[in-house]
Amino acid sequence: MNYLRLLGEFIQNQLLGMHWLNECVGQLLSFLGVDLATRLGGSVQFFLYDVLKIGVLLCAMIFIISYIQSYFPPERSRKILTKFSGVKANTVAALLGTVTPFCSCSSIPLFIGFTSAGLPLGVTFSFLISSPMVDLGSLVLLMSIFGFKIALAYVVLGLLIAVVGGFLIEYLGMEDQVQDYIRHAKQVDLLDEAQLTMKERSQYAVTQVKETFQKVFVYILIGVGIGAWIHNWIPASFVTQVLGGDNPLGVLLATICGVPMYADIFGTIPIAEALLAKNAQLGTVLSFMMAVTTLSLPSMIMLSKAIKPKLVAVFMTISTLGIILVGYLFNMFSYLFI
């Protein structure tokens, strides 16, 4: 058992957490004359280490996910979803969302396509919630920073929000709240994709790495920059006062603060890492991450082009309540994870 524990710590700290990289960055900065004991020096080390670590993990995971995704193009995903009904369909849609694009704005076109193809509204919303909030890449990156238990709990609860949210929207029967041009679109039965070779799938994955990295890198820089600022310049007492256990409104504040922002999961993780280091509560931080990735203002503006205001409001209400509930549950049971 001791060997298994040591192996787990090695995977967590050195392979996923890349603590060796942090030491290398620190040694390089010290060699260059940067005083790591100062706020500025600590911020530079945090920034360089997190950008490099997230960049490496991101590229590796995009390649793996894109390779898997090559077996699930939109038309095949639609055909898979049509084979299920009820909660099973919501669950499958949420799971399919884990191998699709990395932000809500890139998920919305697929959501529109599924809705136009006649899939049940609740099923398409399960996909829409899951796709930006939970993906395989986020699981690995969350593991690298927060550990296996927190990462797994985040993914499971994110999928639960997607399944329950989609089911409730289906139950409310709001098909008439989809924009007319989508509801009346003609269904097109596309041919199955050609049987790709391993080389072609690898080439597709490499292309996706380049395109996705270009899209999200700026948000990584912004997220890491904010994280470095929080980590080294904001007093821990202030973060604890606002987002700590003594403030019962911390989860609500974190969720509200996340809505105006626009980033993917990779851009929010450095901020979450810095907040946790300043004694913010676990559930509060995770609520912030979920709000940013699922309810960002740009995404809601784009979504309003596909569905009517009433359904946008219902979607935001259900997602917000689910995120807040998850936040308070994590805070109550954080002792199980930390």
Residue 104: which pLDDT band, with cuts at 50, 70 and 90?
A: low
What number of other Cβ atoms are within 10 A of residue 119's Cβ?
Answer: 19
Look at residue 46 and tell me if it is in a domain: no
Classify burial at 293, counting beta carbons within 10 Å of its beta carbon; exposed 0-12, middle 13-18, buried 19 or more.
buried
| 61-78: pLDDT as tens digits | 778 877 877 776 666 777
Domain count across the chain = 1
Q: Find the mean pLDDT for residues 287-316.
A: 81
Contact in structure between 276 and 236 (CB atoms under 8 Å)? no
Query: Tokens representing 269?
Result: 């993780």
Look at residue 45 and tell me if it is in a domain: no
225 backbone dihedrals φ, ψ, rounded to 5°: -60, -45
Q: What share of the chain is helix, strand, coil (3-state, %, to 5)?
A: 80, 0, 20
Contact in structure between 283 and 327 (CB atoms under 8 Å)? yes
| 195-249: pLDDT as tens digits | 778 888 888 888 888 887 887 788 778 878 888 888 778 776 777 777 776 788 8
Look at residue 231 and tell me if it is in a domain: yes
Three-class SS state of 155? helix
State how far the Cα of 337 lies from the Cα of 58, in Å rounded to an integer.
24
The set of residues, in sequence order, having a beta carbon less than 8 Å from that of 221 and lying 6+ positions away, is 51
Look at residue 283 and tell me if it is in a domain: yes
Contact in structure between 18 and 53 (CB atoms under 8 Å)? yes
The set of residues, in sequence order, having a beta carbon less than 8 Å from that of 223 and lying 6+ positions away, is 263, 266, 267, 268, 269, 270, 271
pLDDT of residue 53: 85
Query: Tokens representing 137?
Result: 């890449």
Contact in structure between 71 and 100 (CB atoms under 8 Å)? no
User: Per-residue pLDDT for 35 more than 80?
Assistant: yes
| 42-54: pLDDT as tens digits | 889 989 988 888 8
Look at residue 23 and tell me if it is in a domain: no
Look at residue 139 and tell me if it is in a domain: yes
| 266-292: pLDDT as tens digits | 678 788 888 888 888 888 888 888 888
Tell me what the pLDDT averaged over the chain comes to.
Answer: 79
Residue 107 identity: S
pLDDT, greater one: 209 or 15: 209
Residue-range definition of the domain harbouring residue 174: 58-336
User: Per-residue pLDDT for 109 more than 70?
Assistant: no
> What is the signed CA dihedral for 72, 79, 115, 298, rounded to 10 degrees?
-10
Look at residue 88 and tell me if it is in a domain: yes
| 124-164: pLDDT as tens digits | 889 888 877 776 766 777 787 778 888 888 888 889 988 99
State how far the Cα of 277 lies from the Cα of 73, in Å rounded to an integer.
40
- 327: closest CA among 194, 73, 153, 185? 153
Residues in the chain: 338
Q: How far is CA 21 from the centre of its chain?
A: 24
The set of residues, in sequence order, having a beta carbon less than 8 Å from that of 314 and lying 6+ positions away, is 169, 172, 174, 177
pTM of the model: 0.72
pLDDT of residue 149: 83
Look at residue 313 and tell me if it is in a domain: yes
pLDDT of residue 246: 73
